[in-house]
């Protein structure tokens, strides 16, 4: 396979003007009877200006609650009001979550872009393959994009 540099620097390494972050906050909770199933749907019954999504993801001894993804939002500090809102939205769908004990707030940036950038460019004498901008689906898309990167690199 030919040598090539693959750039997948996520949101930290991006300087392109068409890349935007979407701040995402997670609330980690513990509860006596955690739901074993994952769900994600709009909790449109809540008093919000617009329907917002709510989802939870069982992770062994705790459950991760999520519910925000706003475009061009670079905040990295947990927002306690939003955290309460996320718990409220999730509990509106799954009442067992209402009694949960919050153990941690976490914030991360989704490296968003109108389209994933997956292409080869030449940097001086070097081959370079860009692979970034997967937004909120980078884990799901990782296998397919990695396979595409390998195909590009394998081309002579
Ligand atoms: C709250 C939240 C929930 C999410 N939920 C999901 C989900 O349910 N399903 C899903 O598919 N995706 C989800 N995502 C999105 C997913 O996490 C991202 O799309 C994915 O992590 C992006 O991968 P990446 O490798 O492009 O970037 P990153 O994971 O950010 O990795 C980039 C790496 O490059 C390094 N780096 C940056 N600059 C340099 C440099 N100059 N030199 C060397 N290294 C550098 C960074 O330190 C980092 O380790 C979620 C994201 C957030 C924030």
Place of tokens 């955690």: 34
Checking if the pLDDT of 17 tops 70, the result is: no
What per-residue confidence (pLDDT) applies to 128? 93
DSSP code at position 94: -
What per-residue confidence (pLDDT) applies to 38? 78
Q: Where does the pLDDT of residue 146 fall: very low under 50, low under 70, confident under 90, or very high at 90 and above?
A: very high
Does CATH place domain 21-110 in 3.30.9.10?
A: yes
User: β-pairing, 20-30 with 5-7?
Assistant: unpaired
The answer to whether residues 27 and 91 touch, using CB atoms and an 8 Å cutoff, is no
pTM over 0.95: no
Question: How confident is the model over 130-139, as a mean pLDDT?
Answer: 91
pLDDT tens for each residue of 107-117 = 999 988 888 89
Nearest CA to ligand 1 atom 43: 9
Checking if the pLDDT of 106 tops 50, the result is: yes
The answer to whether residues 69 and 137 touch, using CB atoms and an 8 Å cutoff, is no
Domain range list for the chain: 5-17+112-154, 21-110
Q: Where does the pLDDT of residue 45 fall: very low under 50, low under 70, confident under 90, or very high at 90 and above?
A: very low
- Locate the ligand 1 atom nearest the alpha carbon of residue 132 and give its number: 26
User: β-pairing, 126-132 with 5-7?
Assistant: parallel
Nearest CA to ligand 1 atom 5: 136
């Amino acid at each position: 396979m030919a040598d090539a540099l693959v750039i997948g620097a996520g949101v930290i390494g991006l300087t392109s003007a068409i890349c935007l972050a979407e701040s995402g906050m997670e609330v980690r909770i513990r509860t006596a009877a955690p739901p074993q199933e994952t769900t994600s749907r709009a909790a449109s019954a809540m008093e919000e200006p617009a329907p917002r999504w709510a989802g939870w993801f069982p992770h062994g001894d705790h459950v991760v609650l999520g519910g925000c993804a706003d475009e061009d939002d670079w905040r990295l500090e947990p927002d306690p009001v939003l955290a309460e809102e996320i718990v409220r939205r999730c509990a509106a769908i799954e009442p067992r979550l209402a009694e949960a004990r919050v153990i941690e707030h976490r914030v991360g940036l989704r490296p968003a872009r109108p389209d994933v950038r997956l292409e080869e460019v030449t940097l001086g004498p070097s081959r370079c393959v860009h692979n970034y901008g997967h937004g909120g689906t980078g884990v799901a898309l990782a296998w397919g994009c990695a396979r595409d990167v390998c195909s590009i690199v394998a081309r002579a």
